[in-house]
Amino acid sequence: MLRSDIEKLHRKVMAGFVDQEVIPVAREIDEKGDFPFDLFKKIADMGILGIRYPRKVGGSGGTTTLYCISMEELARGLLSLAATTAMQCLMGTNGLYLYGTKKMHEDYLRPAMRGEKIGAFQLTEPEAGSDLGAVRTSATKVEDGWVINGMKTWSTSGPYGHFHTVLCQTDPNKGLKGLMFFFIPSDTPGFSHSKKFDTLGTRTSSLSEIYFNNCHVPDEYMLGELGRGLDVLLTILAEIRIMTACLALGLHRAAMDDSIKYCKERSQFGKQIGKYQLIQAKIANMAVNLEAGHLMSYKVTHLIENKVACLNEASMAKYFTVESACSACDEAMRIYGAYGYSMEYNVQRYYRDNRFLLYGGGTHEVLQTTIARQYLR
């Protein structure tokens, strides 16, 4: 799975950080539901927020594999922290990196990699989730730029974002070919957001609606070539899905680790519950699925690094690992019995958090459809 000493060392460093800095405070952070700015800054100081980007723009010069290892380990400690970090490293800054001007890099990208500014990604609308053809947020060309009107929802980091990558429709008559991404700083006149959503899980991830009321942006804030907006998304779609898969691996590991520990502590009918075959079967299934998920996921990260098209493989990995993580969290709750229903134990958080993974990077109903089409065409 991990093919180099650098990858193994990076996992060791990230695991140590999570064990020492994240896990001890994860429950408190989750209960408060506040964005953990202090941990976010520590992650930035480690160079993680710029791990995907080259050193020439202020990044750490890492790889997709190192990025995904980072997200997996963070998710093992606190999924909401990992999800916010993943947004900052990938969707929130990638369009800016690829298409932003040198000044935009200086004003936004470099500060984002230092943890001084937060980026967000605006795709979803009330009627446009999986169906991007239904996007209604409009970008109208004017003499000195573009005027943006509309709204987005389920925006990770929305309330705290200093800048946003926003999918807009430039020409409804062109359908998908009219879609374009625009860079919109949050201090743009006409920009606003709702209050943070009150969610079942990933409670420190700040989700909200975003509103655009005649937001004027200059021409250079259009990210990419006109008419090629979906290409901006497709350049990172495999990474989005494999990142989500690795978040699932981290959550899966947390549920499994806690279950194993509890199996050795809890006794019934005169012996540890881990001695019973039905409990052993649950642990075995967790272990097998986790190993399979690792093999699938890190195969994909290395394909990405070698510039091999692998969207289908990434979709498979995302589908499998998230379903496995949801199963592992459910089985952990069953192993804990009534104690799993108590807020005293972390398994209830894993059980709540895992639903978040089902939607990011593509719903599983959509993924199953697209995977099947590869074999039925």
Count of helices and strands (H, E) across the chain: 13, 10
**Do 237 and 200 lie in a common domain?**
no
Domain that holds residue 161: 119-227
Query: Using an 8 Å Cβ cutoff, are 111 and 155 in contact?
Result: no
Q: What is the pLDDT along the chain (377 residues), one digit of tens a residue?
A: 556 889 999 999 999 999 999 999 999 999 999 888 999 999 999 999 999 999 999 999 999 999 999 999 999 999 999 999 999 999 999 999 999 999 999 999 999 999 999 999 999 999 988 888 899 999 999 999 999 999 999 999 989 999 999 999 999 999 999 999 999 999 999 999 999 999 999 999 889 999 999 999 999 999 999 988 888 898 899 999 999 999 999 999 999 999 999 999 999 999 999 999 999 999 999 999 999 999 999 999 999 999 999 999 999 999 999 999 999 999 999 999 999 999 999 999 999 999 999 998 889 999 999 999 989 98
**Do 11 and 127 lie in a common domain?**
no
**Tokens standing for 67?**
């990025």
Q: In this structure, are strands 119-122 and 138-142 parallel, antiparallel, or unpaired?
A: unpaired
CA atoms within 13 A on the CB side of 25: 18
**Do 94 and 181 lie in a common domain?**
no
Tally Cβ neighbours within 10 Å of residue 294. 20
Strand segments, DSSP code E, in the chain are: 119-122, 138-142, 145-156, 163-169, 179-185, 191-193, 207-217, 222-223, 267-268, 271-272
- Separation in Å, CA 372 to CA 102, 236, 325: 42, 21, 22
Query: Using an 8 Å Cβ cutoff, are 162 and 108 in contact?
Result: yes
CATH number at residue 91: 1.10.540.10
DSSP state of 337: G
**Do 179 and 251 lie in a common domain?**
no
Tally Cβ neighbours within 10 Å of residue 279. 20
Tally Cβ neighbours within 10 Å of residue 102. 9
Task: Tell me how far apart the 2 most distant CA atoms of the chain are, in Å.
Answer: 80
Listed residues 183, 201, 227: the one ending a domain: 227
Q: Supply the pLDDT for residue 129.
A: 83
CATH number at residue 327: 1.20.140.10
Find, among 77, 67, 66, 60, the residue nearest to 15 by Cα: 77
Listed residues 113, 146, 161: the one ending a domain: 113
- Separation in Å, CA 327 to CA 118, 219, 263, 366: 33, 47, 17, 20
Q: Supply the pLDDT for residue 187.
A: 97
CATH number at residue 220: 2.40.110.10
**Do 246 and 363 lie in a common domain?**
yes
**Do 238 and 222 lie in a common domain?**
no
**Do 16 and 62 lie in a common domain?**
yes
DSSP state of 128: B
Tally Cβ neighbours within 10 Å of residue 146. 21
Q: How many domains does the chain have?
A: 3
Q: Supply the pLDDT for residue 1.
A: 52
Listed residues 92, 113, 134: the one ending a domain: 113
**Do 166 and 74 lie in a common domain?**
no
Q: Which amino acid is at 347?
A: V
Backbone angles phi, psi at 77, to 5 degrees: -90, -45
**What's the full length of the chain, in residues?**
377
**Do 143 and 194 lie in a common domain?**
yes
Query: Using an 8 Å Cβ cutoff, are 196 and 208 in contact?
Result: yes
**Do 239 and 357 lie in a common domain?**
yes
- Separation in Å, CA 213 to CA 187, 192, 361: 13, 8, 28
**Do 250 and 308 lie in a common domain?**
yes
**Do 165 and 96 lie in a common domain?**
no
Query: Using an 8 Å Cβ cutoff, are 297 and 317 in contact?
Result: yes
Q: In this structure, are strands 163-169 and 179-185 parallel, antiparallel, or unpaired?
A: antiparallel
